[in-house]
Amino acid sequence: MTEVSTSPMFAVVGHPNRGKSSVVATLSQNDRIAIALEPGTTRESQYYPLKVDDRILYTLVDTPGFQRPRRVLEWLEAHSLSASDRPDTVAAFVRQHRDNPKFHDECELLTPILDGAGIIYVVDGSVPYTAEQEAEMTILRWSGQPSLALINRIGPDDHTETWRAALGQFFQIVRSFDAVRAPFEQHLGLLKAFGQLRPEWEQPLEDATHHLTRQREDRQRQAASLIASALVDMMRHQETRTLPPGLANPGAESRRALEARLREGWYQYQREREQRLRKDIEALYEHHRISRQEAELSWHHEHDLFSESTRQVWSVSRGYLATAGFGAGAIGGVGIDAATLGHSLGAGALIGGLIGAAGSYFYGDRLAGQALRLGPLKPGTELQTAAFGPAQDLQFGYIVLGRAVDHWWHISERNHAGRDPLELPPTENHWLEQLAQPQRNAIQVALNQLRRGRDLNQKERQHLEAAIGSALEGFRNWRLKSVRV
């Protein structure tokens, strides 16, 4: 508690349903805060400290909206003798009405302000300004606390300019801020503005922007490492079964059945591993409640890891493959890829037909690369191991990587006020062209190694992580550019 009182605190206040909780959620990086279409969602004041490395950088207080501002103002005017006693009059109002249900919301929202919190007054710039809100603004001014107004546009209309003119008469600082869409840089800009409200807050908020910037860089590095781990696991994965005595050296028919079973298991593993990566990335960015547009349980879906449309979106061109790596192994990989292409198109279509449903499998068999492999009988026993995997096609690595980087981008750009389901619309693979040759090589060399079932040594792993880190950076720049066009 003592720490809370030494770091800056801001009460986010305003009319009901204007995006107060959304502002709090985004700036405190907390997606558990209730945000809803109905007015009156927030009924009690709640304190949300933003912590980095166990240090509270600042605290935001989410509050209920004003319900009876005119009545409150009437009371204040009737009980104030001069301008100098206004803050005391506001305090007297809260003392006297604390247990009055009629003014419950006003008492809740004024309490943190009387305790010294700065005021962040949130309005919706998509609805017209009305004089009705003057009572709210006047009450806030009477509290004597430093204040800033935020114009948060919820709907499509734009009344920002009238709002600006009105708010400018009541608040020291007026800013526009879209709680759902504002990019990270704007969060930092807003914190700087908060720091201008009181001289003693300037340094703590300067520190806060510094910490948040560092945290974002750390998260990006950790994301690269999580993605590298998933890539290693997925490329190397082998689905195996030990065949008990009597089933060793199966005939052609049971061999096919065994192969189909192992292949399904291999698909399943890959999908689950990818989901685990996604959850890990979301947790890294403190997104705990994301619902997905993708149908997770019905795999036969165009967004499925193994669908034809996925392959089209995320696989890299033959030219890219040919130039990405210089090692002999890399070229070998391309060779295999080219040689099997014609054949596996046919096989892929066939498997798609067998599996039914979307029938869109194309590359699953080619990825896992090969038919079932049966090991030798274990000496002294009748046991034999059957294996499926690891992935033979380098494209699988690029597809996994592309999907992971895309998902990361959506998560890292997502504000904690966002409540829409996560959609991952198709994109193109031009992003890889952002990568410099050494990073392309590092990825290609790693994939080639993994394709053979070999693990990476520490140095190779570091190279891969660094290259994925650059891929994240490149992808972000590419997305920013393509969004702006």
Ligand X SMILES: Nc1nc2c(ncn2[C@@H]2O[C@H](COP(=O)(O)OP(=O)(O)OP(=O)(O)O)[C@@H](O)[C@H]2O)c(=O)[nH]1
The residues near 308 (Cβ < 8 Å, ≥ 6 apart) are 360, 361, 362
- 112 is an interface residue for ligand X by CB under 6 A: no
- 311 is an interface residue for ligand X by CB under 6 A: no
18 binds, among Mg ion, ligand X, none (CB under 5 to 8 A by kind): ligand X
CB of 67 to ligand X, least distance (A): 10
- 109 is an interface residue for ligand X by CB under 6 A: no
> Shortest CA distance to 246 belongs to which of 379, 387, 388, 381?
381
- Tell which one of 5, 32, 36, 102 touches ligand X (CB under 6 A): 36
Q: Distance between CA 429 and CA 284 in Å, rounded?
A: 25
Site pattern 143..172 for ligand X (x: CB under 6 A): ---------x-x------------------
The residues near 293 (Cβ < 8 Å, ≥ 6 apart) are 421, 422, 423, 424
Interface of this chain with Mg ion, residues 449 to 478, rule: CB under 5 A: none
- Give the distance, in angstroms, between the CA of residue 274 and the centroid of all CA atoms in the same chain: 15
Q: Distance between CA 478 and CA 178 in Å, rounded?
A: 23
| Only segment of 14-22, 122-130, 193-201, 207-215 that touches Mg ion (CB under 5 A) | 14-22
Residue closer to ligand X by CB (options 178, 337) is: 178
Q: Please list the alpha-helical segments (H only) found in 237-301.
A: 252-284
37 binds, among ligand X, Mg ion, none (CB under 5 to 8 A by kind): ligand X
Residue closer to Mg ion by CB (options 42, 470) is: 42
Is there a contact between 194 and 146 (Cβ–Cβ < 8 Å)? no
CB of 42 to Mg ion, least distance (A): 3
- Tell which one of 159, 241, 276, 419 touches ligand X (CB under 6 A): 419
Residue closer to ligand X by CB (options 40, 244) is: 40
- Tell which one of 109, 119, 137, 179 touches ligand X (CB under 6 A): 179
- 46 is an interface residue for ligand X by CB under 6 A: no
- 42 is an interface residue for ligand X by CB under 6 A: yes
DSSP notation for 287-339: -----BSS-SS--SSTTSTTBHHHHHHHPPPHHHHHHH--SHHHHHHHHHHHH
- 7 is an interface residue for Mg ion by CB under 5 A: no
What burial letters (b/e) apply to 250-279, b meaning 16+ CB within 10 Å? beeeeeeebbeebbebbbebbbebbeebbe
- 131 is an interface residue for ligand X by CB under 6 A: no
> Amino acid letter at 253?
E
- Number of residues located near ligand X, criterion CB under 6 A: 22
* Integer Rg of the chain from CA: 29
The residues near 454 (Cβ < 8 Å, ≥ 6 apart) are 236
Q: Distance between CA 82 and CA 242 in Å, rounded?
A: 89
- Tell which one of 13, 20, 58, 72 touches ligand X (CB under 6 A): 20
Three-class SS string for 92-152?
HHHHHHCCCHHHHHHHHHHHHHHCCCEEEEEEECCCCCCCCHHHHHHHHHHCCCCEEEEEE
Residue 110, both tokens = 């004024």
Site pattern 23..52 for Mg ion (x: CB under 5 A): ------------------xx----------
- Number of residues located near Mg ion, criterion CB under 5 A: 4
Residue closer to ligand X by CB (options 177, 388) is: 177
154 binds, among Mg ion, ligand X, none (CB under 5 to 8 A by kind): ligand X
- 133 is an interface residue for ligand X by CB under 6 A: no
Residue closer to ligand X by CB (options 180, 212) is: 180
CB of 18 to ligand X, least distance (A): 4
Residue closer to ligand X by CB (options 17, 225) is: 17
- 65 is an interface residue for ligand X by CB under 6 A: yes
Is there a contact between 394 and 444 (Cβ–Cβ < 8 Å)? yes
The residues near 177 (Cβ < 8 Å, ≥ 6 apart) are 23, 150, 151, 152, 186, 190
CB of 72 to ligand X, least distance (A): 16
> Shortest CA distance to 285 belongs to which of 216, 224, 183, 190?
216
- 67 is an interface residue for Mg ion by CB under 5 A: no
CB of 17 to ligand X, least distance (A): 4
Binding site for ligand X (CB under 6 A): 16-22, 35-37, 39-42, 64-65, 152, 154, 178-180, 419
Interface positions with Mg ion (CB under 5 A)? 20-21, 41-42
